[in-house]
Structure formats: C-alpha cells, structure tokens
Amino acid sequence: MTGSLRRLREWGPALVVLALVLVGWQLAIEAFDIQRFLLPKPLDIADTFWSERGQLWSAGVYTFSEAVYGFLLGSGAAVAAALVLARWRRVGGALLPYFVAANAIPIIAFAPIANAWFGIEKGSKIAIAAVLCFFPVLVNTLRGLTSVRPASIELMRSYAASGIEIFRRVRIPTALPYLFSALRVASVLAMIGAIVGEYFGGSQQQLGIIIKNAAALFQFETAWAAIVVACILGIGFYLAVALVERAAMRRHPSEQ
Amino acid sequence: MTGTEHAPAAVSIAGVSKVFERGGTHALEGIDLDVEPGEFVSFIGPSGCGKSTLLRIVGDLIQPTAGSVLVGGKSAHQARLDRDYGMVFQEAVLYDWRTVAKNIALPLELLGWDRRRRQQRVQEMLDLVELTGFDRHHPWQLSGGMQMRVAIARALSFDPKLLLMDEPFGALDEMTRERLNLELLRIWDAAGSTVLFVTHSISEAVFLSTRVVVMSPRPGRVAGVVPIDLPRARTADTREEPRFFELVTEVRELLRGRAGLDEAGAVSEEVA
C-alpha cells in the first residue's frame, strides 16, 4: 500500500504535467482555430488511435522488429569489435580515428542507397538501424575497456593472471557501465533508423510508410496516431534495455 | 623466522640498474641488497629516487636494464608465476563491483580455490584486519583506512612469501596511519612473511622495520642501510623512546649527507 502511494507521489507530478499539456493542447486548438494539418486535436488522435489500432499495431510490431534486429546486429558487432580493438592495441590505434570520424557521419544519408544494397523490405531498415547503433556502442565500449587504472592491471599481473583473466575480471566489468549507457542510446537510434529507413519505400504495413502516406493524404490524425505508436514502442525499448542494465549490474559477472 | 646461513635469501638484488627508454630517465644505479626471510625492510629516499621502481623490478612488473633479482633463489619472473608476491599499492586498488569479501577472494579465485575454502579464508582475513562483518560491503562504503586494510587482507590472503608495499599509507591521515602501522606489525608477526616497504616517512620506516635502506636521489643508489635494533615488539610508546629518536636522526643524517639539504627537505618528517 505504502509502496504504491510512494510511487504515486513520485510519478504524480509528471502525470499532472502530461494531463495539463494534453488539455492545453486541446483547448489551444479550439481557442486559436489551429488548422488540423498543423496540429490535430488530441481527442481526434486518440479516436483514430483506437479505431485503426489493428493496422497501427501490426505496422508497429513490424517496424519494432526491424529496430530490434538492427540493434542486436549493430550492438553485437560493436561489442565484438571493441573486444578485438582493446585486445590488440595496434589494430585499435590504426582504426579508432576512422571509427570516431565515422561516428560523426550522418548515416541516415545512406538510407536511399541502403535499399539497393540490402533490399527494399526489412533488410535495408535493419542495416541502417544496425549501422546507427554500431559506432556509439563501439566507441563507448572501447573507452570502457581501456579506461582501467594501470594499478588494477599491475595488481592482476602480480597474481600472474593471464591476459584473458584480466579481460574477464577487470576490463569487462569496468566497461559494463559504459556499454549500457551506449545501449540505451542505441535503442533510441535503432527506432529512428528503422522509421526513417521506411520513408524511402518498402511494404505498406510499416509505421514509416503509414506516417508518410497519411500525411500525403491529409490524414493527419492517422499520421499522429502512428507517431504515438512509435513513441510507445521506442520508450518501451529504452526501458527494456534499462531493466536489463539494472539486472546485469546487480548480478555483475564477478558477483555470482 | 630467522634465515640460516644456508637458506637462500628471501630477496637478493645484485647490480640492478634501470634506465627508462622513454625519456632516458636514469632511475636506479647498481643496487645491491640481500633480504633475509622474515625481515621487514623499508626503502626511503627523496621523490624520484627510484624506490617504487625498485619494488616493481623485484615484483617482475618492470624489467631491470642491468643486474638480476632472485626471490627465494628463483628468478623474479618465476616467483611471480609461482604467486610468491602480495602487492599493496599507494591506492587500495579495490574493484568497486566486488564486495569486500570478493575483493579479498580475488587472488584465491585465480589460484583455483573452491568456494568453501575461499569463504573460510576470507573470514580469517577479515578477522585479521579487524573488518569482521564488513564482507557484504562494497569498497566505496568504506573509509580510506578500511579500504587499505582490505587491500592488505587481499595481499595476505594466499600466504605469499613476499609482501611488496609501495607507500600503502601515504594517502592516509596521520592518526589512521599510525594505527595501521601497529596493525601491520601485528599482521606481519602473525603471517611471518618477508616485507619490502616503500615510504616517504622517516618515522614510519624506523617504526616498522628491521632495516631501513636509505636511497640517494636519481639515479637511485643505496646511500646506507640502518639496522633497527629496537625490540621486535613495538607499541605506540616505541615512538617516544630515546633510541627511536636516535635512529630517526641517523636515517635523516644519511638522507641529508647524500641527498643534500634541499632533497632531504622534500622527505616528509613526522617527528618534528
């Protein structure tokens, strides 16, 4: 009882703000006669969200699956690359400047080309999401793996620990907080990559296509309802990563 | 714990020199020293005299440019592989993601001890450093002095033949430091290992040691060795005995004689 009360007190202010914003939005449109192509009424969006829920959610699940595959592929490759680069410093020194530079490339610019490379269906969207995830995860994980204090390594060496043991017991645990903060960012990037990728074509049952087509046909309520679905899925994705993080940090590899 | 004439020296340093390739720093020049099993030998000298470097050479973490180190008759490298070293650094170097118990158990895990044996040993060690009941704590929940005691417990947990301590109490306040000095002596008595101890403090060196090695500024040489003939059982009162002051003066004179006034001034002196 006290737990739910405390939670209410914690989240209450935020929920009040949300309600105020929605009410203000609704009233502002009526008061200032804002055109519906600029901003539809929240109640109309909610209405569309409910009446078209079947199509919206199946498109959402489709897009979400692209984002998740891209996230897993990109982050997995990034972690593997970070381990290799941290293990063989020479290779890392030669490649890292390019990875850092690549991190600054607007990868979204490749989206139209990705259709030609990876197919117009799921492949190109997964690829864009994966590439978007790759660089931040790589750079952060590598920073974590190499930010170990020299004395920590000296201590392990004084115990005649092997390179692999030093990795397992010192470098990887040190890198975990870095990795997870990168994964949280990557979860957001994966959703962005999947939806923007969809703007450049593909099957009809994806959020990006629904948003694009609805906007072209002046069905703004539908476009906004699709955006709401994307937001819910994106926030859910982020929270899922945060939950895994909490579980992993509680049961750190060396803690069992 | 007295070494007989026939037993190999706990540590035998012969003609050790070190020039760092990077920067060409000449850190050590012609160090010769034998340490008997069970001795507590302190190294003192001005900043940059290479005493920490010497400790790392003994611990096989750095290779000497010339000369050799034997530890219990073996090469330093072999001794490291045989896990003969317990090292304590200036910082405690505890792993934040491990509890106190898991930090102490780290070398035991590397040695492949089973869980039950590890847990039992950790309890003994916690009792030894008077941290009983802190096993579930994480390092950041402890004070600096307690963290250092965990580091010492970890270094002792697997009964290493040689304890290498690099200014372990340098970052602590003086009261904590003096208390830990006493604890370290008690632990050393109980564990019976050989200790090499680097310090900036003359009084700490005299208080703890069976011998004090005074080093000259760069390149570090042995300026003199002062045997400490205070009774083995030392207490807080030891610091007030006339003989203690005489030895402190002797060490200080050696530092001054070879190091010059300026460098000797850089050495912290707790006996003002």
Same domain, A45 and A26: no
User: What distance in Å separates residue B200's CA from the closest CA in chain A?
Assistant: 19
Which chain B residues are closer than 8 Å to A148 by Cβ?
none
Range of the domain at A13: 1-34
User: What distance in Å separates residue B66's CA from the closest CA in chain A?
Assistant: 21
Same domain, A8 and A98: no
Mean pLDDT of A125-140: 90
Interface check for A246 against chain B (CB to CB < 8 A): the answer is no
Distance CA B144, CA B93 (A): 11
Q: Is A37 strand, coil or helix?
A: coil
Residue A110, in any domain of the structure: yes
Q: Which of A147, A148, A153, A155 to mutate to test the interface with B (most CBs of B within 10 A)?
A: A155
| Intra-chain end-to-end CA distance of chain A, in Å | 33
**Residue B5's pLDDT is what?**
54
Residues B99, A160: C-beta atoms closer than 8 Å: no
Residue B216 reports pLDDT greater than 80: yes
Residues B97, A255: C-beta atoms closer than 8 Å: yes
Same domain, A168 and A200: yes
Residue A60, in any domain of the structure: yes
**Residue A70's pLDDT is what?**
93
Could you report the per-residue pLDDT of A40-73, keeping only the tens digit for each?
Answer: 888 888 888 888 888 888 888 999 999 999 999 9
Other Cβ atoms within 10 Å of A133 Cβ, number: 30
Could you report the per-residue pLDDT of B67-121, keeping only the tens digit for each?
Answer: 888 888 888 888 888 888 888 888 889 988 888 999 999 999 888 888 888 888 8
Same domain, A63 and A28: no
Residue A104, in any domain of the structure: yes
Same domain, A62 and A110: yes
> Under the phi-then-psi rule, with left for phi > 0, alpha for psi from -120 to 50, and beta for the rest, what region is B133?
left
For B165, the token pair is: 């301590």
Could you report the per-residue pLDDT of A67-121, keeping only the tens digit for each?
Answer: 999 999 999 999 999 998 888 888 878 888 888 888 777 877 787 787 778 877 7
**pTM of this structure:** 0.75
Could you report the per-residue pLDDT of B141-185, keeping only the tens digit for each?
Answer: 888 888 988 998 898 888 888 899 998 888 778 887 888 888 888
Q: Write the residue in A149, A159, A173 that is nearest to B83 by C-beta.
A: A159
Listed residue (A102, A81, A80) closest to A92, CA to CA: A81
Same domain, A22 and A46: no
**Residue B255's pLDDT is what?**
85
Domain boundaries defined on chain B: 11-84+160-266, 91-159
R_g of chain B, CA atoms, integer Å = 18
Distance CA A72, CA A187 (A): 9
Residue A13 half-sphere exposure, CB side, CA atoms within 13 Å?
3
Same domain, A4 and A49: no
Per-residue 3-state assignment (H helix, E strand, C coil) for A67-123 = HHHHHHHHHHHHHHHHHHHHHCHHHHHHHHHHHHHHHCCCHHHHHHHHHHHHCCCHH
pLDDT confidence of B263, banded at 50, 70, 90? very low
For B114, the token pair is: 């089973």
Distance CA B155, CA B39 (A): 17
Distance of CA A18 to the CA centre of its chain: 23
Residue A232, in any domain of the structure: yes
Could you report the per-residue pLDDT of B14-61, keeping only the tens digit for each?
Answer: 887 888 887 778 888 888 888 888 889 999 988 878 888 888 888 888
Same domain, A18 and A141: no
B59, B52 Cβ separation under 8 angstroms: no
* B160 to chain A: closest CA residue: A159
Residues A160, B83: C-beta atoms closer than 8 Å: yes
Interface check for B26 against chain A (CB to CB < 8 A): the answer is no
Domain count, chain A: 2
Same domain, A127 and A158: yes
- For position A100, which CATH number holds? 1.10.3720.10
Distance CA B196, CA A251 (A): 38
Distance CA B117, CA B81 (A): 22
Distance CA B118, CA B109 (A): 8
Q: Write the residue in B89, B95, B107 that is nearest to A159 by C-beta.
A: B107
Residue A181, in any domain of the structure: yes
Same domain, A61 and A178: yes
B50 CB-near residues (< 8 Å, 6+ apart): B18, B27, B28, B215, B218, B219, B220
Interface check for B80 against chain A (CB to CB < 8 A): the answer is yes
Same domain, A110 and A7: no
User: What distance in Å separates residue B82's CA from the closest CA in chain A?
Assistant: 8
* B94 to chain A: closest CA residue: A152
Q: Mean of the per-residue pLDDT values for chain A?
A: 85
Residues B95, A254: C-beta atoms closer than 8 Å: yes
**Residue B270's pLDDT is what?**
42
Residue A252 reports pLDDT greater than 70: no
Residues B80, A149: C-beta atoms closer than 8 Å: no
Residue B204 reports pLDDT greater than 70: yes
pLDDT confidence of B271, banded at 50, 70, 90? very low
The CATH architecture of the domain made up of B11-84+160-266 is 3-Layer(aba) Sandwich (3.40)
Same domain, A27 and A92: no
Q: Write the residue in B61, B95, B98 that is nearest to A158 by C-beta.
A: B61
Cα A191 to Cα A105, A111, A169, A205, A251: the distances in Å are 18, 14, 33, 16, 28
B79, B164 Cβ separation under 8 angstroms: no
Mean pLDDT of A210-223: 85
**Residue B113's pLDDT is what?**
87
| Intra-chain end-to-end CA distance of chain B, in Å | 34
Interface check for A159 against chain B (CB to CB < 8 A): the answer is yes
Residues B89, A154: C-beta atoms closer than 8 Å: yes
Distance CA A118, CA A140 (A): 27
pLDDT confidence of B6, banded at 50, 70, 90? low
Q: Which of B74, B95, B147, B159 to mutate to test the interface with A (most CBs of A within 10 A)?
A: B95
Sign of the Cα pseudo-torsion (A59, A61, A65, A71, in order): positive
Residue A256, in any domain of the structure: no
Q: Write the residue in B83, B85, B91 that is nearest to A151 by C-beta.
A: B91
